[in-house]
Amino acid sequence: MLNAPIHELLPHAGDMIFLDRVTVLESERIVAASTVRSDWLLCQQGALPAWAAIELMAQTVAAFAGGHARLAGEPVKLGFLLGTRRFTTNTDIIPAGTELTIEARCSLQDEGGMGVFECRLTADAILIEARLNVFSPRDPDAYLQDAIEESET
């Protein structure tokens, strides 16, 4: 999976992919790498706001799920970021050109698709950490259809 193009591990497409590659994929841990580009949708005035690190962390978690799905011979599927806790940062911005390392460690994953990941984004003097709560339903299309039908009633 480390040699797979990143777009094959993510349910994202085009300009919404912010990761460059996966460097480590283990049973409970993933490490991804990325270089901040000023043309990213989330960049403001040539820099990525620190809060946007949550998206890079979420994509790293998605790559974890996608990599493990591919290893099991299953398709990559959609997942949902439910929330973030314990977000800490020592910076307000991440300048374009900064090379990032994003690590996510699975601390909980149940049979129903709920998961908790301890995430860390680092670069030179930058440290951003957060705990992400995620959900990956067995059948994302059916889950979304049920949610739509429920909201219409």
Secondary structure string (H, E, C) spanning the chain = CCCCCHHHCCCCCHHHCCCCEEEEECCCEEEEEEECCCCCCCCECCEEEHHHHHHHHHHHHHHHHHHHHHHCCCCCCCCEEEEEEEEEECCCEEECCCEEEEEEEEEEECCCCEEEEEEEEEECCEEEEEEEEEECCCCHHHHHHHHHHHHHC
Interval 21-73: pLDDT, tens: 999 999 999 999 999 999 999 999 999 999 999 999 999 999 999 999 999 99
**Domains recognised in the chain with CATH numbers:** 6-152 (3.10.129.10)
pTM of the model: 0.91
Residue 138 predicted with pLDDT over 90: no
pLDDT at 146: 72
